[in-house]
Structure 1
Amino acid sequence: MMKLTKLLLPLCLIASFAWADGVRIKDLGRLSGWRENALVGYGLVTGLAGTGDSQANKATRQSIANVLSQFGVNLPPTDVMSRNVAVVIVNASLPAYARSGDKLDVTVTSLGDARSLVGGSLLLTPLKGANSRVYALAQGALSVGGYKYDLNGNVVQKNHPTVGSVPGGATVEQSVKADLVDQENRLTFVLSDPDFTTASRVATAINSAMGRQLAQARDASAVEIDLPTTPGARLVELITRIERLTVEPDTRARVVINERTGTLVAGGDVRIAKVSISHGELKVSIVTDNSVSQPLLVRQTGPNVRTEVVANSRIDVSEGAGSYLGASGNTVADLVQALTRIKTSTRDIISILRAVKAAGALHAELVVQ
């Protein structure tokens, strides 16, 4: 169970997290070898309403000629009209343990100078992995979610019409199997957030549940698990038991600030050493009043008699009373509460925390976004 305590401030958030019942090991990381594989392909989108690649795109005309040659139509690329066709790059992710016949979502992006892919259909495109082997075939009608129309220099556009998708448009042709067990008959559990304490707790929880020493924390990010050699031991059942175990993860104290949006997020238990904070405000205002000076005698004439514009400027300097705050053994949440009571703005709170960190009184990692 996760308890979340929030202190809501104007554009400021202080969050305190407490892990009461622990977190499943399954939610703390993954098994080494369990990963997705990137696939990429080069294809053509046809059926566009004059919004495809222009005649200046030689790759499009050459690709169309190559496709037509497979059906016995031989034309030189110079004789091919390509305004209703666009060359595209097709991307997809092949999950671990993908089986032949599984469907994958694909993303289609324009490679040439097409204005829009709305209404287009992707021709059969082989998708290759990093080893240049074909793992899936993609085709189907595009879902763009945008449009672009132009006439006589007027353009109406919504979203990005040169990027589309084909949900379930790729079919896996070659199965993929993840290698979870290494040559030494071990499993390796990799933490998403490396931490020595958490890795040690994961290993201890596994050994306690199994009743023997099977797991050992190799470093801050990996826990090695020796597979039992007893007859009848099943890998899937063992992994299931391990993933359902719960541990209390240990996290490093962090304070995340974003000055662009005025956002501050910190753990409520982040400690602050003894520190004194003095915060004042100085305002300088420069005001210019322009007035017109007329000659006293209206009928007076001469080379030096004319209307004159006079600028009267004044400078006002006001210094606020400022504020003084002494903190001893408090947390970031306590400090922010005290600063909010004296009506300190969020951006000033961010500046104060950066100064506290520079003074060495903030015992946390300061992350500036």
Structure 2
Amino acid sequence: MGIHWDDGVLIEHGKKTGDPTVVTVNCPDKAGLGCDLCRIILEFGLYVTRGDISTDGKWCYIVLWVVPRPSSLRIDWESLKNRLVSACPSCMIPFFVEQQSSSCSHSPIYLLKVFCVDRKGLLHDVTKVLCELELSIQRLKVMTTPDGKVLDLFFITDGLDLLHTKQRRDNTCENLSKILGEYCISCELQLAGPEYEGQQAFTSLPQPVADELFRCELSEKESSDATKVKSAVVTVDNFLSPAHTLLQIQCIDQKGLIYDILRTSKDCDIQIAYGRISSTAKGYRTMDLFIQKTDGKKIIDHESQEALCSRLKEEMLHPLRVMITSRGPDTELLVANPVELSGKGRPRVFHDVTVALKTLGICVFSAEIGRHSTSDREWEVYRFLLDDTPKFPLASKQARSDIVDRVKKTLMGW
């Protein structure tokens, strides 16, 4: 077994209030390490102001300047360090043996049952507690009863890998009971059994809805937004470096942008030898990435260049899909994000959607999370059946547009 080197991750806080915290990672390299680290940064509600990535294929050195987002949860910096260390390969050589075995392990799934009296904002309050405790929601089923009670079934994994202990389980239930107060009827947490398999998927989306939600092309409204389209620019240069292809990327800044770019590179088997993430200027973010294919060669083929640029632009313009549709007599909010090839979904999506709905004063009648496969990838899909309110009559086209707009802006950090 390898031994982790704790000094491989250093976290240095700024000298003055408001100064960014510098996160330095110095460890053996592995495919997609930058993506894995940025995913954890995003999960903790941190924003990368700038960064540098450098690797020779065997060892890497990554520096990220981060600040908490205004709406972020309390940051447990020690826990963040531990999570970053766990994502790094062992410093023992050869490190790829441990890397391979650890990548195949999966955290056990636990079932959290929360039964309580319904109220506005309840779903978000529960989700917020789970995020603060570093518990990730893998699947979810929310059901409201006719007598005003709600049963929430959360299938969760533990970022700390401690849910096998009674203390961790009891602490989770105590925190939930505290935030729910008199509304809480019962709270149970146990290892998930066969019932989890029944939550692996949900009824397929109607084809017209799926076509609209997962389409690659911009909508009429988005196409008319010339500023947004113009901001998603990817250029390829094969002359500056004799051994690497240079990707120059520019996009309007948004939450998770760096994660989305590195996730796409990881899924496309692109190796980043050196990267510079510039500070945001006038709302724009730029990145310079020196890349190679897995065989160590530049990307010379024009079709391959076009395919990579097209994929990156799509991820920058459409990292998340949001729409409202009718589901029989009910109104349904759909939110979708692509799943990594590793099987991981985007962090904090459910949290951010419930933040937006709570801010609007909209109650959720039922909710669920599942997966949907298209021809080229797998998606994580969040489905919310919404309750009508006087402020947002769901039959109104304007009200629906306002809900989609608020949810999208919350997800994108705008």
Q: Which has the higher strand share?
A: 1
Larger Rg: 1
Bigger proportion of residues as helix: 2
Is the structural similarity TM-score above 0.5?
no
TM-score (norm 2): 0.22
